[in-house]
Structure 1
Amino acid sequence: MTNLALYHITRPSSLKENAPLLIMFHGYGSDENDLYSFASELPEELFIISVRAPYPMQPYGNAWYAINFDAEMNKWNDNVQAAQSRDLIATFIDQACDTYPVNKDNVTLLGFSQGSILSYAVAMTYPEKIKNVIALSGYINEEILPENLGSKDFSNLDIYASHGSVDQVIPVEWARKIPKFLSTHNIKHAYSEFPVGHGVAPQNFYEFRKWLSERI
């Protein structure tokens, strides 16, 4: 495990080889155990990896990139760190596919909040590595996407996006821009909203589980 770029935990697949791979990316201030709680309820043929973000926070938790606040409590993202994490994840995906008995052509990313923002960025920067994305309570940060987006081939990419309609952390208005952006780049997608805050409602879980089961 130490030779891979990011610390992680795994749930083996019921398949001995060529398993569909699901990689989980937690939100700001959390860790690899957060989304891993979904693992026991997901299809047994999935090989599941839940990853810890590279930047430790005090007193606990981890981040994919810093979120800074000024005196007026405006916040902004460290997009340099975010882009570094995006590329680190891409390296990790290659390493995981070399290390575990998985199908490198059947890779799904599952992200929540900051992990969701990174999942979008990885999939749109390296679409040849990713088949599906489940993006929960996030948005598309165009500042960490490649400039040559129009020349990328997204024909094999499929995205499920969802958001809480009363999200107090990431405004739902940001998420509502996602379908138009994906349509502009001819990326297959589904978008749902649920009457919750910054979290995953049970109905949301059942919907994305069904969506994923139909695609692996």
Structure 2
Amino acid sequence: MTDIPLEHVHEEPDGDSDAAVFVLHGRGANEQDLLPVAERLPGDRHVISFRAPDRLRGGFTWYDLDLSAGGLESSQPDPEGFRRSLDLVAESVDAAVDAYGLDTDDLGLLGFSQGAITSFSTVLEQPERFAWVAGHHGYLAESHADAAPDGIEGKPIFVGAGAADQIIPASRSEAAAEGLRSAGADVTFETFEGGHGIGQEELAAVSAFVEQQA
């Protein structure tokens, strides 16, 4: 729909549900990438998967990487691009709520890699907007590392990591979980076998987490 800033895929629920999950893909992917994960989550809800705003090879990216601290494993979001994407996500969520008549008390946020990093910062900026957040293989951006906003207390957040992830090491995801917990969120953190991807064990764990929020 043209009044939603970010290009997206919208999948309607099977029944008469106004709940929704917003989906943010990883670097170099697109809005189709995480649909198999979102579709496997328990419950009946709208699935709205956003496309990142900038092209990258055959896919899209939420922001450029700041590699000044070292290699990819030490990267941070480029501040200007990150700010733009955070604003676009917030504007697109608001527009989708209006366009699709969504229940503002039953909105989830699911992200992978760059999408998880964006999700963590998004919930720290708008904790009242989302009922729960699931971030896979991401880290907490330095720009939001010390944030502890009103409304984050008790917010259910799932953080998944890969024991063999060489792109975003499990230690960075664990540090994100600790930071979000220190801010007051109710964090579930788990490390899974494998690398930079969501396997069946991780999918089962996040599904159990989402089911607990019903």
Query: What residue in structure 1 maps to residue 190 of structure 2?
Result: 192
Counterpart secondary structure, 2:164: coil
Query: What residue in structure 1 maps to residue 139 of structure 2?
Result: 139
Query: What residue in structure 2 maps to residue 7 of structure 1?
Result: 7
Query: What residue in structure 2 maps to residue 164 of structure 1?
Result: 162
Q: Decide whether aligned partners of structure 1 residues 169 and 156 sit closer, same or farther in structure 2, where only a CA change above 3 A counts.
A: same
Q: Could you tell me which runs of 5 or more consecutive residues in structure 2 were left unpaired when the two chains were aligned.
A: none
Counterparts of 1:53-132 in structure 2 under 5 Å? 53-58=52-57, 60-67=58-65, 76-132=76-132
Counterpart secondary structure, 2:207: helix
**72-81 or 194-203: which moved more?**
72-81
Counterpart secondary structure, 1:102: coil
Q: Decide whether aligned partners of structure 1 residues 156 and 16 sit closer, same or farther in structure 2, where only a CA change above 3 A counts.
A: farther
Give the conservation status (yes or no) of the 8 Å contact 1:164–1:193.
Answer: yes
Provide the rounded CA distance (Å) in 1 between the counterparts of 2:2 and 2:148. 37
**Deviation at 1:206?**
0.8
**Coordinate RMSD, CA, aligned:** 2.0
**Deviation at 1:155?**
3.1
**Deviation at 1:83?**
1.6
Amino acid at match of 2:22: I
2:25 equivalent to 1:29: no
Provide the rounded CA distance (Å) in 1 between the counterparts of 2:52 and 2:36. 17
Aligned length: 211
**Deviation at 1:21?**
0.8
Q: Decide whether aligned partners of structure 1 residues 156 and 98 sit closer, same or farther in structure 2, where only a CA change above 3 A counts.
A: farther
Give the conservation status (yes or no) of the 8 Å contact 2:133–2:157.
Answer: yes
Q: Decide whether aligned partners of structure 1 residues 153 and 76 sit closer, same or farther in structure 2, where only a CA change above 3 A counts.
A: closer
Provide the rounded CA distance (Å) in 2 between the counterparts of 1:127 and 1:37. 26
Q: Decide whether aligned partners of structure 1 residues 44 and 172 sit closer, same or farther in structure 2, where only a CA change above 3 A counts.
A: closer
Counterpart secondary structure, 1:82: helix
Counterpart secondary structure, 2:120: helix
Provide the rounded CA distance (Å) in 1 between the counterparts of 2:153 and 2:65. 33
**Deviation at 1:54?**
0.4
Amino acid at match of 2:109: L
Provide the rounded CA distance (Å) in 1 between the counterparts of 2:41 and 2:202. 13
Give the conservation status (yes or no) of the 8 Å contact 1:55–1:65.
Answer: yes
Provide the rounded CA distance (Å) in 2 between the counterparts of 1:215 and 1:83. 29
Give the conservation status (yes or no) of the 8 Å contact 2:43–2:211.
Answer: no
2:182 equivalent to 1:181: no
Q: Decide whether aligned partners of structure 1 residues 211 and 183 sit closer, same or farther in structure 2, where only a CA change above 3 A counts.
A: same
Counterpart secondary structure, 1:183: helix
TM-score (norm 1): 0.90
Amino acid at match of 1:197: G
TM-score (norm 2): 0.91
Provide the rounded CA distance (Å) in 2 between the counterparts of 1:73 and 1:191. 25
Counterpart secondary structure, 2:6: coil
Q: Structure 1: which 4+ aligned runs deviate by more than 6 Å?
A: none
